[in-house]
Amino acid sequence: MNWRRILPVSLLALSASAAAEIVDVGATGFQVRHVTTVNVAPAAAFAVLLEPSKWWHPAHSFSGNAANLSLDARAGGCFCERLPGGGGAEHLRVVHVAPGQMLRLAGALGPLQVFGLAGSLTWRLADAPPGTRIELTYDVGGHLQGGFDKIASAVNDVLGVQIARFRAFADTGNPAPQ
């Protein structure tokens, strides 16, 4: 996965996220947060969350095809990708599931895997009539030669794309943000 290739796509969708921020960047890690709302109830939003093959941007996958993504929403389950030739990739591991309320996954997304970093990605869903408030946070820590400043911004942008597509799919059935 090439960050330079996917960042232009990321920036287009970033404006669709109601609130996006790099909360903290330090010598040992960073935290990013995105907050938005969807026009469906928490149970429906959670169901959409569990189908990344329908809303995850294919440019942010190893295979280039979001249909290869799956999410097994149970403790120990996998947010995984099938790769050509029988290969596969584990993007994140499910560590906590509270249906309709929260999903927490552990691991280093995409190109972060090569650095040996640890991460915690949490989706929180809260009833916010007439829909659901969604908060996505990603905390990453470890050692990254050269520091976390540049990578935190790139990760924030990529997650902005994902939450914008999630919101668009939940609201319209089409993952392309309007």
- Following DSSP, what letter does each residue of 105-124 receive, concatenated? EES--GGGGGGT-EEEEEEE
Question: pLDDT tens digits for 95-113?
Answer: 999 999 999 999 999 889 9
What pLDDT is attached to residue 14?
39
Could you give the angle at which helices 149-172 and 3-14 cross, rounded to 10 degrees?
50
| Nearest partner of 108 among 54, 144, 134, 160, judged by Cα | 144
What pLDDT is attached to residue 87?
97
What pLDDT is attached to residue 177?
74
What pLDDT is attached to residue 46?
98
What pLDDT is attached to residue 116?
87
What pLDDT is attached to residue 16?
43
Domains of the chain by start residue, with CATH: 3-125 (3.30.530)
What pLDDT is attached to residue 178?
65
CA angle 22, 6, 147 (to 5 degrees): 45
What pLDDT is attached to residue 93?
98
Output the pTM of the full model. 0.89
- Cis before 175? omega within 30: no
Burial class (CB within 10 angstroms; exposed 0-12, middle 13-18, buried 19+) of 32 = buried
Query: Cα–Cα distance between 99 and 102 in angstroms, integer?
Result: 6
Which DSSP state fits 129?
A: T
Amino acid at 18: A
| Nearest partner of 134 among 142, 147, 124, judged by Cα | 124
Which residue stretches of the chain have pLDDT < 70? Answer: 1-18, 178
